[in-house]
Structure formats: structure tokens, C-alpha cells
């Protein structure tokens, strides 16, 4: 069958399956809208021929790690793209954050949002530094600077801002607070590669910024990350710490660990940089399709990307207003999962409700009302190069069908006493494909 004909029949099939009434939803025992699962964060691969050529180059060179030529090239290209002086490639974003925290000699307490991936908190707790959770601004989903100063104590040594969904957090206010209180300021920029804030590329703010190049990110190196900074002394220190403290052969001058990126990962990264504009173009097209489909639909807020800034458009974030539409976010997610749309509820239930933090700080939720509310509303929808506009239209039709018939849907489900746990629909091993 010709590819064009096969695609046309596939698109027709999706349309036919989603032009239906409530009784046709897969959660009531019918066939799902999609034969294969649609995931959040399915990897962008790029030109596989070029990836394999670069990997062969590394194999032929027999230089597979220890800051080889591909890693060096990747660091140069990233630094140039972001307009920073230094890029130190790492094996992953979490190790990059841990090394940066140690290089800055943070201690005692560090203020962070709870609405973030748990690695932000773990990178501190792992080093016996207490993460102090701050509430968020519900409009931006980022840490609320107005709540920070009330959390500062004599033990506070720093602030970690998180650029969520590719939008910069309030860098200016955070910088002022850090300066006025003699605190170190760094940024977790895991979501924000190739994004800008105030017309300046994210990467050059604070003491340093950390990127994740995990497989689920817009730009990936299979698994990887980086610290970027304009601070010469800090960059030199991080390079030592990244490689056991070696300064040349047999000369260890500082404590360190093994955080190096491999040549194989760099091969993927260089190829990803070649295709980055194409990845972003697809993401933006998908985001615009979601936006047009949801326009005028009550009860759903699509988190906005700032059109005046550079963005990677890698996250499509819908907020479900239960009070307005009569359907919970969790129920919507369960309905979508039945249709093979594996939507996700980032960053549920908030770091403060995960271990060890919920045991260490059992009353933290009372200080984080906006965070608690947001964790019940956010639904992350599939996008990226593995998702097309026809599939997005079908996803949105399912959501509209549910919202427009909320009473009937909930009544049917209640009558069936549906109580299957959300986590039962997918084995835990799938997290590697759908992680954050």
C-alpha cells in the first residue's frame, strides 16, 4: 500500500472513531481511538544515518569517553547557541545539578518550588541540604518571588528557580532577592533548552543554569545534561569535579566524581542540534493546533507560550477546572488512557507530598495552597515529532465529548462503580519512555 494512501486511511479511521457519542468511549468497553499508545515525551531522534555516522566515528577513533572530540564540539555549539562562555556536558541533568550545588558550596537550606520534578529536591537532600518549598504563581506555574523572603532564615544559602514548560521564571525579582540577601541563585532549566527570557537566551542567568538532555526532552543526548555559566572560576571548578578532580595525568587537585558525558551521547546531541529547528517547528505546529481546538471551550486553560520569546513548545499543558466542567483532571486522564492517549499529571502530587519530604515536612501543604490546587488541575498532552495534527484533533474531540457530556459520563462511571487505580493501566517500566 502506498504511504500516502495508508496515511489517508489511518486519518479517516481516526475521524470515524472519534465522531461518536459518549457510549462509544473506550472506558465503557469499546475499542480505543488509537491502535498504538500516544506518549508525552516520546523521543525526537533526528537523522538516524547521521547519528550512526558519528557513533562510527567515535568507535573508529576508539575515544568513547573522557571529554572526546564529539563532546568538545557539542559543548562549543551549545555555548554558542545560548550565548554563554562555558558549557560543561554531563552524564545527566541530575548529576549536573548535584555538582553545581556542591561547587557553589550551598549548605543548610535552599528555597525551591515544590511544583517541579523531584530531582530538583533530591539533588539537595542527597547532599544533606534541606529543600524549603515555596508556593507558585498560579498564572505562571513558577516559584512566586513574593513568597520567598518569608522563608529566608540564617540557614538559607541559595535559591533554585525552575523554568517550567520552556518559559522563564521571574528572573529579575529572584535576582534582586538573592542579591539583597547574599544568596546564591541558580536555575533548573531542564524544560527550557533553546528558549529565551526577556530577549536573552536562557542559560546565562544566575550563577549558572542546568539543562537536562534526557530522551524525553525536545533536545536529547539519549541521556545527558549540562551546566552552563559565564563564571570562569566556577566553570573550571565544575570541570574538575566532573572528572574526579583530575587536572592532567595523575594529578588530582580537588574532590570530584564521574559526571562525564560519553561520545555516544554527544553523537546523538550533535545530530539533535542539526535538527533542532525542525523539532521546534513541529512542536509549535502541534501547540497551535491544540490552541485552535480548545479555543472557546470552557473549563480548559491551555498554558500560554510567550510568542515574543524563543520557545521550544515542547509541553502542551491543559488545566482542567473541575468546578466549572464537573469532571476531575484524574477522570479525564483515565478516559484518555483508555483511548491510548497516555496523558500525564505533572508534577503530581508535588515534591512536598513525596518521600522523604512528606515525612520530614508533614504540614508543608498548608503553606503551599496554590501548588496543591495546581497539582489537581494540570494535564500534559502528547506532542512532538511522534504526534500529528490529525491525532491532536482526535484527542481534542475526545476531551470535548467528555466535557460537553460531563454529567452523563460521570453518572455512567458511578453506576459501574469504576475504581481501577490510575497507575494500573501502565507498567512501571514504561516510565523510561514517558518520564519528565
Using a CB cutoff of 8 Å and minimum separation of 24, what contacts does 237-243 make?
A: 237/103, 238/88, 238/99, 238/100, 238/103, 238/208, 239/88, 241/99, 241/102, 241/103, 242/88, 242/90, 242/99, 243/66, 243/67
pLDDT in tens, 14-31: 443 544 689 999 999 999
Over range 235-242, report the average pLDDT: 98
Q: Class of 3-42+276-343+382-434 per CATH?
A: alpha beta
pLDDT of 422 above 70: no
Decide if 91 contacts 281 (C-beta within 8 A). no
Over range 180-201, report the average pLDDT: 98
The closest alpha carbon to 378, from 309, 302, 319, 426, belongs to 319
> Which DSSP string corresponds to 270-296?
HHHHHTHHHHHHHHHHHHHHHHHHHTT
Q: Give dist(CA 111, CA 352) in Å, integer.
A: 13
Cell representation of residue 211: 539543562
- For residue 77, the SS3 value is helix
pLDDT in tens, 276-311: 999 999 999 999 999 999 999 999 999 999 999 999
The mean pLDDT of the chain is: 92
Unique residue bearing C-alpha cell 473549563 = 299
pLDDT of 424 above 80: no
Fold of 48-274: 3.40.640
Report pLDDT for 433.
Answer: 39
pLDDT of 1 above 50: no
pLDDT of 180 above 60: yes
pLDDT of 360 above 80: yes
Task: Parse the chain into domains and list their residue ranges.
Answer: 3-42+276-343+382-434, 48-274
pLDDT band at 415 (very low <50, low <70, confident <90, very high): confident
Strands (E), 119-190: 130-134, 156-162, 184-188
Cell representation of residue 202: 536562557
The closest alpha carbon to 140, from 19, 304, 347, 360, belongs to 304
Over range 193-200, report the average pLDDT: 98
pLDDT in tens, 45-88: 999 999 999 999 999 999 999 999 999 999 999 999 999 999 99
Strand bridging mode 184-188 / 208-212: parallel
Decide if 201 contacts 312 (C-beta within 8 A). no
Q: Provide the whole-model pTM.
A: 0.91
Report pLDDT for 20.
Answer: 66
pLDDT in tens, 310-354: 999 999 999 999 999 999 999 999 999 999 999 999 999 999 999
pLDDT of 223 above 60: yes
Decide if 253 contacts 245 (C-beta within 8 A). yes
Amino acid at each position: 500500500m502506498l504511504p500516502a494512501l495508508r496515511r489517508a486511511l489511518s486519518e479517516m479511521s481516526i475521524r470515524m472513531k472519534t465522531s461518536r457519542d459518549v457510549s462509544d468511549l473506550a472506558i465503557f468497553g469499546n475499542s480505543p481511538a488509537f491502535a498504538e499508545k500516544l506518549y508525552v515525551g516520546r523521543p525526537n531522534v533526528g537523522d538516524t544515518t547521521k547519528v550512526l555516522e558519528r557513533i562510527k566515528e567515535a568507535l573508529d577513533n576508539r575515544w568513547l569517553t573522557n571529554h572526546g572530540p564529539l563532546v568538545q564540539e557539542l559543548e562549543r555549539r551549545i555555548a554558542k547557541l545560548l550565548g554563554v562562555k562555558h558549557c560543561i556536558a554531563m552524564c545527566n541533568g541530575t548529576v549536573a545539578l548535584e555538582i553545581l550545588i556542591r561547587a557553589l558550596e550551598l549548605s543548610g537550606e535552599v528555597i525551591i518550588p515544590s511544583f517541579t520534578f523531584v530531582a530538583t529536591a533530591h539533588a539537595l537532600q542527597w547532599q544533606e541540604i534541606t529543600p524549603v518549598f515555596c508556593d507558585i504563581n498560579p498564572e505562571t506555574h513558577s516559584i512566586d518571588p513574593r513568597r520567598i523572603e518569608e522563608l529566608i532564615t540564617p540557614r538559607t544559602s541559595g535559591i533554585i528557580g525552575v523554568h517550567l514548560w520552556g518559559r522563564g521564571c521571574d528572573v529579575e525579582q529572584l535576582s534582586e532577592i538573592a542579591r539583597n540577601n547574599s544568596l546564591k541563585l541558580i536555575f533548573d532549566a531542564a524544560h527550557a533548552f533553546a528558549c529565551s527570557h526577556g530577549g536573552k537566551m536562557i542559560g546565562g542567568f544566575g550563577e549558572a543554569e542546568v539543562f537536562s538532555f534526557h530522551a524525553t526532552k525536545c533536545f536529547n543526548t539519549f541521556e545527558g545534561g549540562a551546566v552552563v555559566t559565564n563564571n570562569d572560576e566556577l566553570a573550571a571548578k565544575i570541570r574538575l569535579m566532573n572528572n574526579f578532580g583530575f587536572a592532567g595525568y595523575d594529578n588530582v587537585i580537588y574532590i570530584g566524581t564521574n559526571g562525564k558525558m560519553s561520545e555516544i551521547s554527544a553523537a546523538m546531541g550533535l545530530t539533535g542540534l542539526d535538527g533542532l529547528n525542525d523539532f521546534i517547528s513541529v512542536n509549535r505546529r502541534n501547540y497551535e493546533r491544540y490552541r485552535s481546538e480548545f479555543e472557546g471551550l470552557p473549563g480548559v486553560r491551555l498554558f500560554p507560550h510567550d510568542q515574543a520569546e524563543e520557545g521550544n513548545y515542547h509541553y502542551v499543558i491543559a488545566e482542567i477546572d473541575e468546578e466549572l466542567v464537573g469532571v476531575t483532571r484524574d477522570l479525564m486522564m483515565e478516559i484518555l488512557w483508555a483511548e491510548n492517549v497516555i496523558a500525564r499529571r505533572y508534577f503530581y502530587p508535588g515534591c512536598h507530598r513525596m518521600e522523604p519530604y512528606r515525612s520530614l515536612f508533614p504540614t508543608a501543604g498548608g503553606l503551599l495552597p496554590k501548588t496543591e490546587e495546581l497539582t489537581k488541575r494540570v494535564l500534559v498532552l502528547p506532542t512532538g515529532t511522534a504526534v500529528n495534527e490529525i491525532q491532536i484533533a482526535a484527542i481534542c474531540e475526545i476531551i470535548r465529548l467528555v466535557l460537553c457530556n460531563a454529567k452523563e459520563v460521570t453518572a455512567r462511571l458511578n453506576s459501574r462503580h469504576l475504581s481501577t487505580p490510575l497507575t494500573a493501566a501502565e507498567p512501571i517500566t514504561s516510565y523510561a519512555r514517558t518520564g519528565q
